[in-house]
Amino acid sequence: MKISTRPKILASLAAALLVLIAAATILSLVIRHRQKNEINGALAILERNNLPLMKVEQTLGSLFNAEIEFREYTISYDRIHLKKYHEHINHLVTSIDTLQQIAMTFNGEHQGNAIETLREREKQAVNYLRLKRLTDSLMVVALSFDSVSYTHMGDNFYLKKFKPTPGSLSIDTLGYSMTSERRRKGLLGKIKTFLVGEEEKTTSNTKVVVKTGTQAEEPQAEESDSAFNLNLLASRIIDKTNRHYQIQLKKQLEKRNELRTQELKLVKLNNSLIYEIRAILNTFKELSQETRTQYQIRSSRTIARSSTILQRTLLAIILISFPLAVFTIMMLRRNQIYQQRILESKQQALYQAEEKSRFLSYMSHEFRTPLSSVIGFAEQLEQTPMNHDQKNYLSGLMSSSEMLLATVNDILDLSKLDAGKMSFLSNPFRPDETIHQVMKSFRKMASDKSIELSYKHQGNVLTLLGDEIRLKQVLNNLVSNAIKYTPKGKVEIVSHIIENKLNAELKVEVTDTGIGIDAEKIGKIFDEYSRVHSETPEKWIIGTGLGLAVTRKLVDQMGGQVTVSSKKGKGSVFSISIPYPVSKIQQLASVNRKKEASLPDGNIRILVADDNYFNVVLLQSIFKRENIVVDVAENGVDALEKLVSEKYNILLSDMYMPQMDGLELTRQIRQNASSELSRLPVIMLTGNISPEAGEQMGTAGVSDFLIKPFQRKDLIEMVSKHLS
């Protein structure tokens, strides 16, 4: 018992070990994942702590880029720079708003008015651009003023109207120009002189009227009298021109002053905006410095704690895994030892099974040989005149012999079924005729107990393909048990065939009115050595308890099933259901009902090779009634000498003999140079029914074999088959 429970304990320990290892692995993974998240969180806090400072740097960069784009636009007036300037301003507004929100999360206060300052700067920038455009336009106009004609003057000159007198006066108009150099005055003039590198040249275009001929009378002015003076006209023109330039320069100076004022405002706003951003930056630096220290301490503690936990967990796993590993190695070692023991036990069991098979084969031969003599002599005695008592004695002898033979067959069949060495034939047979043969075998047994034995077949009668001998063995066990366990009443056999295309299912029910079976014992009646009996000695039923066990295993291996229903004191119903192929040859009834075989007429000589005296006497007695000469050889050597020296029609040999057994004798016959002797029919009479024995006989060249014990009619039929 202890040996049988150890594998269970080891299996439980192995399962527990696997569970512990799996749990430790899962626990370590969970702890590692948790500590990993904590470390990542600590690192994320450190990264978030630097976020405000990075945002301030981005804000300053946006302000610087916006200023550059604005300056480039005021120089080139390229709208791409203006578009980029507005993009930087929008980004700057967003960044400042984000910084103010971050600052409020730290100290809960609003930091400065940077947004308002930025909006005011935008307004001033618009004004600055407008003034810059006006100033540049005035510069362009001033640069285009190289000369001013009289027609382009802003004021008109009016001359007094005179009434001329008749005369021949010719008037010609002469034009001349006067150029004078002088330094430019005013801011714009100086800027131009600085950029171009030239002094200002003034050109005056003057027209002079020349009169020739006879002058008429002095004209009279209509309104007043005035004389025309050329110098006065030129002086007036020059004065007008100077006044025009002075006015333009004055306007430029005013716009330039306004532009400077706007530039100053922009500079102040930029300084204010930078101051606001720097204030936010300083606030963040102060707060960051405070929180950085706290977060660093907290993160360092978290990382240190996580590392400690991981180290302790790893150490615990190592400490736990080491004894588990040692225990696993020990358990595997034990398991290896047990496996080795199991392998040795298996080999021992196989060896014992082979020994058991050889022993059973030997015992089969040893049992069947005397049984063959008992049954054979009983058959011979049955053919002699006997009185009533002698017949009863002979009947008891026959029944006891058949019971002993059935016991031997059950033991051998059970051994072969357990070893999986049972083979099944596939020959055509009629189930109804098989059951009639069973009925004939048990009719006397039933009549001795005054039990009515009946059989009825329902439905069609078909010829099936299968092992008729094994079916007969199953039915013999069921009918024998039904008669044994029925004190009075009847035993009824009912069969019917359910046809299904090429296959058919044979169902047989054996019903008795016997003692019945308890409900709690029905499940055990098919166990080996299990028997149903009454507690009273007078109702004790003789038997080995192997019949139903063999029956169930035979039916199972033939693909069928056995069922039982029973009531205590009412009787039992055993049912078998076995599938069989339907034979294509259905004309089998006339073959099975042929008359008993007989030996052919003529001078027939039979040689019997057997070292058992009673077997020889039995064979001589059987063939003496057929008027056949029988010669005897006690071993294979004597038999071979007689076969070589004399002529025989057939050889009946035992398998096991001294000096030379029946198999070697058969091989010598088949290898003989004489063609007539090498073709001699050899029938082996043996009690060994193992498959190995059948293979050995087939290899040696045995013509046929007959299993002991055999009946007279079986022997005559086989000999007749090989002599005809």
- Decide which of 335 and 246 is more confident: 335
Q: Give the model's pLDDT for residue 189.
A: 44
Residue 152 has pLDDT above 50, yes or no: no
Residue 513 located in a structural domain: yes
Nearest to 547 by CA among 536, 560, 569, 562: 562
Question: Would the pTM of this model clear 0.85, i.e. be above it?
Answer: no
State how far Cα 486 lies from the chain centre: 61
Residue 72 located in a structural domain: no
User: Does residue 514 sit in the same domain as residue 659?
Assistant: no
Helix (H, G, I), strand (E, B) or coil at 497: strand
Nearest to 188 by CA among 141, 223, 146, 235: 141
| Percentage of the residues of the chain whose pLDDT score is greater than 70 | 68
Strands in 325-379 per DSSP E: none
Q: Give the model's pLDDT for residue 523.
A: 77
User: Does residue 646 sit in the same domain as residue 677?
Assistant: yes
Residue 491 has pLDDT above 80, yes or no: yes
Span 79-84, average pLDDT: 80
Domain boundary among 592, 619, 639: 592
Report the number of distinct structural domains present in the chain: 2
User: Does residue 673 sit in the same domain as residue 613?
Assistant: yes
User: Does residue 704 sit in the same domain as residue 587?
Assistant: no
Q: Which residues partner with 609 through β-bridges?
A: 633, 653
Say which residue the tokens 């079916």 belong to. 471
Q: Give the model's pLDDT for residue 350.
A: 83
- Decide which of 689 and 213 is more confident: 689
Instruction: Tell me if 230 sits within 8 A of 164, measured CB to CB.
Output: no
Task: Show Cβ contacts of residue 464 under 8 Å, excluding neighbours closer than 6 positions.
Answer: 428, 429, 430, 431, 497, 504, 506, 580, 581, 582, 583
Residue 705 located in a structural domain: yes
Q: Give the model's pLDDT for residue 683.
A: 94
Span 458-477, average pLDDT: 88
Residue 481 has pLDDT above 50, yes or no: yes
Q: Give the model's pLDDT for residue 667.
A: 94
Task: Show Cβ contacts of residue 309 under 8 Å, excluding neighbours closer than 6 positions.
Answer: 31, 35
Phi/psi for 117 (5° steps) reads -60, -40
Q: Give the model's pLDDT for residue 133.
A: 73
- Decide which of 74 and 108 is more confident: 74
Helix and strand element counts for the chain (H, E): 17, 16
Q: For residue range 123-139, what is the model confidence (pLDDT) as tens digits?
A: 777 777 777 777 766 66
Confidence of residue 66 (pLDDT cuts 50, 70, 90): confident
Range of the domain at 445: 420-592
Give the lowest-confidence range in 80-89, 180-189, 421-430, 681-690. Answer: 180-189
Task: Show Cβ contacts of residue 319 under 8 Å, excluding neighbours closer than 6 positions.
Answer: none
Give the lowest-confidence range in 30-34, 48-52, 344-348, 569-573. Answer: 48-52
Q: To 5 degrees, how large is the angle CA 350–CA 352–CA 357?
A: 95
Q: Which residues partner with 579 through β-bridges?
A: 505
Residue 253 located in a structural domain: no
User: Does residue 581 sit in the same domain as residue 669?
Assistant: no
DSSP state of 600: P
User: Does residue 576 sit in the same domain as residue 612?
Assistant: no
Structure tokens at 367: 């049992």
Residue 226 has pLDDT above 60, yes or no: no
Q: For residue range 319-330, what is the model confidence (pLDDT) as tens digits?
A: 877 787 788 788
Q: Give the model's pLDDT for residue 244.
A: 77
Nearest to 424 by CA among 579, 244, 613: 579
Residue 149 has pLDDT above 70, yes or no: no
User: Does residue 568 sit in the same domain as residue 453?
Assistant: yes
Distance between CA 494 and CA 685 in Å, rounded? Answer: 37
Domain boundary among 558, 592, 626: 592
Residue 677 located in a structural domain: yes
Average pLDDT, the chain: 75
User: Does residue 491 sit in the same domain as residue 529?
Assistant: yes
Domain boundary among 568, 592, 616: 592
Q: ω into residue 164 within 30 of 0, thus cis?
A: no
Confidence of residue 665 (pLDDT cuts 50, 70, 90): very high
User: Does residue 588 sit in the same domain as residue 709?
Assistant: no
Nearest to 233 by CA among 182, 158, 170, 154: 158
Structure tokens at 188: 């714009």
Residue 31 located in a structural domain: no
Q: CA Rg, the chain, in Å?
A: 69
User: Does residue 610 sit in the same domain as residue 579?
Assistant: no
User: Does residue 550 sit in the same domain as residue 632?
Assistant: no
Distance between CA 662 and CA 643 in Å, rounded? Answer: 14
Structure tokens at 628: 């056949």
Span 226-248, average pLDDT: 72
Residue 133 located in a structural domain: no
Confidence of residue 511 (pLDDT cuts 50, 70, 90): very high
Distance between CA 607 and CA 643 in Å, rounded? Answer: 8
Distance between CA 143 and CA 309 in Å, rounded? Answer: 84
Span 386-405, average pLDDT: 79
Q: Which residues partner with 497 through β-bridges?
A: 506
- Decide which of 695 and 266 is more confident: 695
User: Does residue 426 sit in the same domain as residue 551?
Assistant: yes
Span 141-150, average pLDDT: 51
Residue 510 located in a structural domain: yes
Q: Give the model's pLDDT for residue 173.
A: 52
Residue 535 has pLDDT above 50, yes or no: no
Domain CATH number, residue 557 = 3.30.565.10
Domain CATH number, residue 669 = 3.40.50.2300
Q: Give the model's pLDDT for residue 681.
A: 93
Q: Give the model's pLDDT for residue 51.
A: 62
